[in-house]
A and B are shown apart, each in its own frame.
Chain A
Amino acid sequence: MDFMRSIFIAATGLRAQSGRMRVIAENIANANSTAANSATDPYRRRVPSFSTSFDRDLQATVVSMGRVRTDGSDFTVRNEPGHPAADGTGNVKYPNVNTLIETVDMREAQRSYEANLNVITATRRMIARTIEILRA
């Protein structure tokens, strides 16, 4: 049934967005994670990606979360001579996570999730209204 298929397709969107939310949570949680010493790198921001695939069971294109890549941009450097991870000049490498960007990404994931939820709600309402014809 097409209605059930649209619910399942929207469910793949829900799964993808919840995976994205997990990556954003990792980024925000590790926003201040420095390395143990100056030789190693701190936490590197991770970027989720989405991929389209054709589901044979559903006979429809669905979305799934693809590989999670790392953000190659430069680390934030702060001058904190007393820090255990500080190098010879007193600079400490902090993760390349910008909490503001993560917050915006989070908002986008939230909106996408809600959009998929709305698809499910609307589909269910359409099914219910159709079944109601039988009862009248």
Chain B
Amino acid sequence: MTTPNIAASAYAAIQRAANGVTPASKPNTQGNGFGQMLQNVLGDITSKGQQMDAKAMAAANGKGDLVDVVTAVAETEVAVETLVSVRDRMIQAYEEIMRMPI
């Protein structure tokens, strides 16, 4: 995630994923399940991505501080990487269960 283009497309993909989660498709409606947690984190990442975009655009226009862009990108990168890893791990565990012969 070093160029704004890649960042923008990743951020758009996350936003699409966040919009795709409808309350009906959630298996757990108690509000504290994995789905809810994912949704919270996605919202957090979306706002971080927006901040990062704003800072990158300001820096591109010669108004922002380069250090601000670097810290914002690092913050967003960490959040996205963590989320993606947790999601992959969860899906892997789910697939493992689905492959179990009954």
CA of A128 to CA of B70, assembled, Å: 16
- Report the Cα distance A7→B70, complex, angstroms: 10
Binds B, one of A10-18, A21-29, A41-49, A63-71: A10-18
| Chain A: minimal CB distance from B43 (Å) | 17
Q: Does B75 contact A (CB under 8 A)?
A: yes
Tell me which of B11-19, B24-32, B53-61, B81-89 binds A.
B81-89
A120 within 8 A of B: yes
Give the size category of B's interface with A: 10 to 19
Question: Looking at chain B's contact residues, is the secondary structure mostly helix, strand, loop, or mixed?
Answer: helix
Q: Report A42-88 residues with CB < 8 Å from chain B CB.
A: none
Q: Which residues of A contact B88 (CB under 8 A)?
A: 134-135
Residue B71, interface by CB 8 Å? yes
Q: With the chains together, A1 CA to B67 CA distance in Å?
A: 19
Q: In the bound complex, how far is the Cα of B68 from the Cα of A134, in angstroms?
A: 29
B65 contacts chain A at the CB level, 8 A cutoff: yes
CB <8 Å contact, B78 and A3: yes
Docked Cα-Cα span, A27 to B75, in Å, equals 36
Among B67, B70, B89, which residue has its beta carbon within 8 angstroms of that of A134? B89
Q: Are A120 and B85 in contact (CB under 8 A)?
A: no
A15 CA to B70 CA in the complex, in Å? 12
**Residues of A with C-beta under 8 A to B21:** none
Chain A residue nearest in CB terms to B68: A11
Q: Provide 25 A-B residue pairs closer than 8 Å at the C-beta atoms, listed in order of the A residue.
A: A1-B78, A3-B78, A4-B74, A4-B75, A4-B78, A7-B71, A7-B75, A8-B71, A11-B70, A14-B67, A15-B67, A120-B70, A120-B74, A127-B78, A127-B81, A128-B81, A131-B78, A131-B81, A131-B82, A131-B85, A134-B85, A134-B86, A134-B88, A135-B85, A135-B88
